[in-house]
Structure 1
């Protein structure tokens, strides 16, 4: 779907386009002004985005955050990327969603799973450090 938008085969309300990225309004917005930022190269998840494109991608995300908030008079925004789980389109996309106080969105991160004697934090940190050393 996003590749079709990038190729100009599917319609979208474009907010920004450059050589490597395209930003457009979500056709099923959480709130009006909900923007999706996609790389033009097809990658599914953030870790697949070529390293040289990561900086420009997130610099544009910063600019879009300000533009959405300032342009729409929003109190803030929600910036989000889903990797695989809850990713409705298998193409990397970053959401910039305008937020207003008392807008009704109940963004809840839970249930929480605290560390305990059976699941010590340091064990999880060690596993992540080991995987990070292999990347």
Structure 2
């Protein structure tokens, strides 16, 4: 099976499961960025965010919210929690089955999103917003 997360969902590969329901499975990441790093994956294969069923995406975030609370209440006692979803190789996606990282954070843990943030003008922000808005078609 080419999709490692599909194999985990099917029970063909082991996982340290934290949560399991009819739509998603959550388990400990085998290459954790921080102690307690969890992954939430939809049981239905979706290579990326565009292919993800909206109900599965919603469930992923609902479960991630619950897991974040569980992490905060656990003896791991993180100071914060990040949710991270990489969509596409250039965004850092390495496993092409949509998945949401739940990352407990501690001061100095070394994880972070770093960038040279810009300060565009309101006109430029409006222009970019218009491009995206137009691409949506029906904003529904």
Give TM-score scaled by structure 1 length.
0.88
Q: Secondary structure at the match of 2:13?
A: coil
Q: SS state of the match for residue 27, structure 1?
A: coil
User: How many pairs are equivalent?
Assistant: 133
1: CA distance, partners of 2:41 / 2:113: 25
Structure 2 counterpart of 1:115: 120
Question: Is it true that 1:79 corresponds to 2:83 in the alignment?
Answer: yes
Structure 1: give runs of 5+ residues left out of the alignment.
Answer: none
Deviation at 1:61, TM superposition (A): 1.2
Over the residues paired in the alignment, what is the CA RMSD in angstroms? 1.9
Give the secondary-structure state (helix, strand or coil) at the position aligned to 2:78: coil
Give the deviation of 1:14 after TM superposition.
Answer: 0.8
Q: Residue 83 of structure 1: SS of its match in structure 2?
A: coil
Runs of 4+ in 1 over 4 A off after TM superposition: none
CA deviations 1:42-74 (Å, max 9, x no partner) are: 002223222233332221111011112221211
Deviates most, 45-54 or 29-38: 45-54
Q: Which residue, 22, 26, 29 being the options, matches 2:29?
A: 26
In 2, Cα distance between the equivalents of 1:28 and 1:86?
Answer: 14
Among 51, 56, 60, the residue aligned to 2:59: 56
The runs of 5 or more residues in structure 2 that have no matched partner are none
CA distance in 2, matches of 1:106, 1:22: 24
Aligned to 1:95: 101
Partner Cα separation in structure 1 for residue 71 and residue 28 of structure 2: 11
- CA shift for structure 1 position 121: 1.6
The residue number in structure 2 matching 1:131 is 135
Measure the CA separation in 2 of the matches of 1:94 and 1:52: 14
